[in-house]
C-alpha cells in the first residue's frame, strides 16, 4: 500500500451535518448540497460516520444491516449520487466499518437467538461471564436469551461482539468491505479494530477493566492482514485507518508499517486523556501540558523510527471539542483554533478535521441532563449519582466530557436551529450558533488558516514526508517539533497558553522563512516572543552548519 500523504481528511457526522427533509436528522442529500463548501475548504476525503440501518442505541455504531442505507439518511441512489458528485469535486469518501460488533437487531443475532447453531457461532458465547467491564459501564456479558449462556458485548448490551475466530464471520465481513468498494468509496475507517482478535479461552482480568485480556492481541494483526488481502489491499489507491482503543506505539507500528499489509494509519486517544483524573474519564481536571507534549513526542518519534503512520486529530464524534477543552476561548478563540490546527497539520501523519473545527465551533453549553442523548453520557450520569455524586456535580462533569459536545448540529447560519434543519433537531444546537456559523466564519481567520494549511501540505514535501523530532523539550508551555526532509528543516512552535513566552531561537533558524503563523509581522531574531496561542513554523531550505 502506498498512502498519499498529501491528503487531508474531513470527518463528517451525517446525523448532524445538514437535514434536507425536516425530520431533524442530517441526510445524504444535505451532504451533496454542502460538498462545494468542503471543496472550497480544500479537503480530499470525507470520513462518514455510520449511516446504515440501526436501532441507533449508539448512534449508528449498532449496525443492523451493513450494506444498506438507513432511510432517515436517504437511499442507495442518494449515496451513489453523493459519490459521483464527490468525484467531480475531487473528494473521495471513507466509510466507517463497525466490524467488531453488530446490533442485536442484526439478522445474524436474531437467528442465533432463535437457536440456529451456524449463527450462534458468529458471536462470543460462554457459560460463565468473565469480570470484564463494558466500555459503556457495567459487566461486558449479558444473558443470551434463556439459554443459560452469556454473550460478550464490550460496548452496549445491544452491540454483540462478533467471533472473528469463525472463518464464516470473516468471509461475511470481507463481503461488506467489498460491497462498498464496488460502490466507489475511496477509504475505510475501521471502528475499534484492535479489539477483534479475542483469545479462544477468555479469562478474568482485574487490571484496567479487563482491557489487556482483549486488546491488541497478536492474532489481531493476523486478522487485519487477512482483511487487507481479501478486500481493500487489492486496490492501492484506497486509504485505511484503524481506530485503536488503549493501544501502544509498538502495536501501531505493526498495524501501519507498509511491509506488513495491515492498515495505512491508526488513531489513538492517549493525548485526549491528559485531563483525566487517575485515568478516569468522568472526572474534571485541568489538562496536563507536559503529559500531552510527552505523548506527542513519544508517538511522533516512535512511529517515525518504526516506519508507522499516525492519523492526527484533536476532535472526533467521541470527544468534546478540543477548542473548548484546551483553549481560553473567551479571549483567544481564533488564536487557539489556529494554533491547535497547525500543531497537527504540520506534524508527521495524516491530519483529520472534525466538522465545525474549521469555523471554530465550541461545546454546546447545555443546561440540563435532558439535553443529552448519548448512551455513554446517560449511563455515566447514573453511575456517578449512584456512587455518591450530587446530580449537579455529575451534570458538570457530563458537560465537560460528553460525546454529545461534538455531535451537535453543524452551525450554518444565524437562523433558527443554525440552518441545520427546518424541523426539530435530534440533538439541540449549541448556544453560540448565532455568532459562530459558516455564514459568519467563512473566509474568516480560522477557515482561511485551514485552507492555508491544506495548501501548504500539497506544496511542501517536508510537511507530508519529513521526519519528526522533539524540540524545546524543557519548555513549560510550548509544544515544538522539527521536521527534516532532503536537507530542509522545519521548526514548528506552538504556545499552548494565553501567556506570551520568550524563546531563544537556534542560530540556523534566525535567517529562516516564516512558512506560516497565526500572527502577522513575525520577526526572527536570536530571541523571539510567542504571543498567546501563537503558532509559528520556520523553514530553512539550506541549513547553515554551525
Ligand atoms: O469508539 C470506541 C471507543 O473506544 C469509544 O467509544 C470510547 O470507549 C468512548 O468514547 C470513551 O469515552 C468507537 C466509536 O467511535 C464510538 O462512537 C462507538 O460508540 C464505539 O466505537 C462502539 O462502536
Task: Please write the tens of the pLDDT for every residue from 57-91.
Answer: 999 999 999 999 999 999 999 999 999 999 999 99
CATH code of residue 29: 3.20.20.80
User: What is the spatial distance between Cα 249 and Cα 299, in angstroms, rounded to a whole number?
Assistant: 6
User: What is the spatial distance between Cα 527 and Cα 507, in angstroms, rounded to a whole number?
Assistant: 10
The three-class DSSP label of residue 329 is: helix
Q: How many separate domains does the chain show? A: 5
| 274/204 same-domain check | yes
pLDDT surpassing 80 at residue 545: no
Angle at 39 between CA 63 and CA 6, to 5 degrees: 85
| 21/84 same-domain check | yes
List pLDDT tens digits, range 37-49. Answer: 999 999 999 999 9
- Quick one: average pLDDT of 200-216? 95
Domain-ending residue, one of 459, 482, 501: 459
- Quick one: average pLDDT of 195-217? 95
| 439/333 same-domain check | yes
| 359/374 same-domain check | no
Ligand 1 centroid to residue 111 C-alpha, Å? 26
- In the chain, the largest separation of any two C-alpha atoms, in whole Å, equals 76
Quick one: which atom of ligand 1 is closest to the CA of 100?
23
Quick one: which atom of ligand 1 is closest to the CA of 62?
23
- Quick one: average pLDDT of 301-320? 98
| 428/394 same-domain check | no
155 lines ligand 1 (CB under 6 A): yes
32 lines ligand 1 (CB under 6 A): no
98 lines ligand 1 (CB under 6 A): yes
Q: Annotated catalytic, 200?
A: no
Q: Within a domain: residue 60? A: yes
Task: Write the residue with the smallest CA distance to atom 6 of ligand 1.
Answer: 318
User: What is the spatial distance between Cα 74 and Cα 302, in angstroms, rounded to a whole number?
Assistant: 43
- Quick one: average pLDDT of 318-330? 98
CA nearest to 407, candidates 374, 451, 381, 376: 374
- Quick one: average pLDDT of 182-196? 98
Ligand 1 centroid to residue 536 C-alpha, Å? 34
pLDDT bracket for residue 546 (50, 70, 90)? very low
318 lines ligand 1 (CB under 6 A): yes
| 426/335 same-domain check | yes
- Quick one: average pLDDT of 311-338? 98
Burial 307-330 (b: 16+ CB within 10 A, else e): ebbbbbbbbbbbbbbbbbbbbebe
Residue 331 pLDDT: 98
Cell 507534549 belongs to: 293
Q: Within a domain: residue 142? A: yes
Residue 311 pLDDT: 98
Q: What is the CB neighbour count within 10 angstroms for residue 160?
A: 29
CATH code of residue 115: 3.90.400.10
135 lines ligand 1 (CB under 6 A): yes
- Quick one: average pLDDT of 298-324? 98
| 322/455 same-domain check | yes
- Quick one: average pLDDT of 428-449? 97
- Quick one: average pLDDT of 347-366? 98
Percentage of the chain with pLDDT > 90? 97
Mutation pick for ligand 1 pocket among 51, 61, 283 (CB with most ligand atoms within 8 Å): 61
Residue 342 pLDDT: 98
List pLDDT tens digits, range 121-149. Answer: 999 999 999 999 999 989 999 999 999 99
Residue 2 pLDDT: 80
Residue 542 pLDDT: 74
pLDDT surpassing 60 at residue 298: yes
| 94/112 same-domain check | no
Angle at which helices 218-230 and 167-182 cross, to 10°? 40
191 lines ligand 1 (CB under 6 A): yes
Q: Annotated catalytic, 264?
A: no
- Quick one: average pLDDT of 176-204? 97
Residue 137 pLDDT: 87
Question: Using an 8 Å Cβ cutoff, are 54 and 64 in contact?
Answer: yes
Ligand 1 centroid to residue 319 C-alpha, Å? 9
| 335/432 same-domain check | yes
Q: Within a domain: residue 258? A: yes
Q: Within a domain: residue 228? A: yes
Give me the catalytic one of 58, 78, 96, 191: 191
The three-class DSSP label of residue 498 is: coil
Quick one: which atom of ligand 1 is closest to the CA of 401?
12
Q: Within a domain: residue 166? A: no
Q: What is the CB neighbour count within 10 angstroms for residue 542?
A: 10
Question: Using an 8 Å Cβ cutoff, are 193 and 224 in contact?
Answer: yes
The three-class DSSP label of residue 359 is: helix
Residue 206 pLDDT: 93
Question: Which grid coordinates are listed for 297?
Answer: 513526542
Full residue range of the structural domain in which residue 232 is found: 178-184+192-309
Q: What are phi and psi of 489, to 5 degrees?
A: -130, 145
Please tell me whether the overall predicted TM-score, pTM, comes out greater than 0.85 for this model: yes
The three-class DSSP label of residue 467 is: strand
pLDDT bracket for residue 1 (50, 70, 90)? low
| 44/16 same-domain check | yes
Quick one: which atom of ligand 1 is closest to the CA of 281?
12
Mutation pick for ligand 1 pocket among 158, 188, 192 (CB with most ligand atoms within 8 Å): 192
User: What is the spatial distance between Cα 74 and Cα 424, in angstroms, rounded to a whole number?
Assistant: 18
| 519/442 same-domain check | no
Residue 380 pLDDT: 95
Q: Within a domain: residue 47? A: yes
Ligand 1 centroid to residue 318 C-alpha, Å? 6
Domain-ending residue, one of 309, 327, 352: 309
Ligand 1 centroid to residue 192 C-alpha, Å? 7
Q: Within a domain: residue 168? A: no
| 445/473 same-domain check | no
User: What is the spatial distance between Cα 98 and Cα 69, in angstroms, rounded to a whole number?
Assistant: 14
Domain-ending residue, one of 440, 459, 478: 459
End-to-end CA distance of the chain: 40
Q: Within a domain: residue 235? A: yes
Amino acid at each position: 500500500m502506498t498512502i498519499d500523504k498529501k491528503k487531508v481528511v474531513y470527518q463528517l457526522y451525517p446525523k448532524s451535518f445538514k437535514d434536507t427533509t425536516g425530520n431533524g436528522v442530517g441526510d445524504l442529500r444535505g451532504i451533496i448540497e454542502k460538498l462545494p463548501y468542503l471543496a472550497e475548504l480544500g479537503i480530499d476525503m470525507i470520513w462518514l460516520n455510520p449511516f446504515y440501518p440501526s436501532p441507533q442505541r449508539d448512534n449508528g455504531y449498532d449496525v443492523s444491516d451493513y450494506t444498506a442505507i438507513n432511510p432517515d439518511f436517504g437511499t442507495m441512489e442518494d449515496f451513489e449520487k453523493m459519490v459521483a458528485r464527490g468525484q467531480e469535486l475531487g473528494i473521495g469518501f471513507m466509510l466507517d466499518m463497525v466490524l467488531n460488533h453488530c446490533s442485536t437487531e442484526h439478522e445474524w443475532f436474531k437467528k442465533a437467538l432463535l437457536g440456529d447453531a451456524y449463527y450462534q457461532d458468529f458471536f462470543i458465547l460462554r457459560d460463565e461471564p468473565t469480570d470484564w467491564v463494558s466500555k459503556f459501564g457495567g459487566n461486558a456479558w449479558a444473558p443470551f436469551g434463556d439459554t443459560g449462556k452469556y454473550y460478550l458485548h464490550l460496548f452496549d448490551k445491544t452491540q454483540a461482539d462478533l467471533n472473528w475466530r469463525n472463518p464464516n464471520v470473516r468471509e461475511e465481513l470481507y463481503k461488506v468491505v467489498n460491497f462498498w468498494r464496488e460502490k466507489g468509496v475511496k477509504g475505510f475507517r475501521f471502528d475499534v479494530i484492535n479489539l477483534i482478535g479475542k483469545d479462544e479461552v477468555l479469562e478474568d482480568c482485574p487490571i484496567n477493566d479487563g482491557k489487556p485480556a482483549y486488546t491488541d492481541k497478536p492474532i489481531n494483526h493476523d486478522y487485519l492482514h487477512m482483511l487487507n488481502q481479501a478486500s481493500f489491499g487489492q486496490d492501492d489507491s484506497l486509504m485505511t485507518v484503524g481506530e485503536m482503543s488503549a493501544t501502544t506505539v509498538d502495536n501501531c507500528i505493526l498495524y501501519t508499517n507498509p511491509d506488513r499489509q495491515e492498515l495505512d494509519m491508526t488513531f489513538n486517544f492517549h493525548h485526549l486523556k491528559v485531563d483525566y483524573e487517575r485515568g478516569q474519564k468522568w472526572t474534571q481536571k485541568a489538562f496536563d501540558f507536559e503529559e500531552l507534549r510527552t505523548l506527542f513526542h513519544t508517538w511522533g518519534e516512535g512511529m517515525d523510527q518504526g516506519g508507522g503512520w499516525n492519523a492526527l486529530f484533536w476532535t472526533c464524534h467521541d470527544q468534546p471539542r478540543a477548542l473548548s477543552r484546551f483553549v481560553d476561548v473567551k479571549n483567544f478563540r481564533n488564536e487557539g483554533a489556529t494554533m491547535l490546527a497547525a500543531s497537527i497539520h504540520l506534524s508527521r501523519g495524516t491530519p483529520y478535521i472534525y466538522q465545525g473545527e474549521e469555523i471554530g465551533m465550541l461545546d454546546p453549553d447545555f443546561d440540563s441532563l435532558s439535553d443529552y442523548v448519548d448512551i455513554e453520557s446517560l449511563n455515566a450520569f447514573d453511575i456517578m449519582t449512584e456512587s455518591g455524586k450530587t446530580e449537579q456535580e455529575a451534570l458538570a462533569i457530563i458537560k465537560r466530557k460528553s460525546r454529545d459536545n461534538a455531535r451537535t448540529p453543524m452551525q450554518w447560519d444565524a437562523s433558527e436551529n443554525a440552518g441545520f434543519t427546518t424541523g426539530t433537531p435530534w440533538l439541540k444546537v449549541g448556544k453560540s450558533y448565532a455568532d459562530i456559523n459558516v455564514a459568519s466564519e467563512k473566509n474568516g481567520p480560522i477557515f482561511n488558516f485551514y485552507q492555508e494549511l491544506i495548501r501548504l501540505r500539497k506544496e511542501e514535501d517536508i510537511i507530508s514526508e519529513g521526519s519528526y523530532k522533539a524540540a524545546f523539550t524543557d519548555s513549560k508551555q510550548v509544544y515544538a517539533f522539527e521536521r527534516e526532509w532532503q536537507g530542509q528543516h522545519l521548526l514548528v512552535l506552538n504556545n499552548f497558553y494565553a501567556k506570551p513566552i520568550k524563546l531563544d531561537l537556534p542560530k540556523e533558524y534566525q535567517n529562516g522563512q516564516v512558512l506560516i503563523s497565526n500572527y502577522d509581522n513575525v520577526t526572527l531574531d536570536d530571541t523571539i516572543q510567542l504571543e498567546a496561542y501563537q503558532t509559528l513554523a520556520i523553514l530553512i531550505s539550506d541549513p547553515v552548519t554551525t
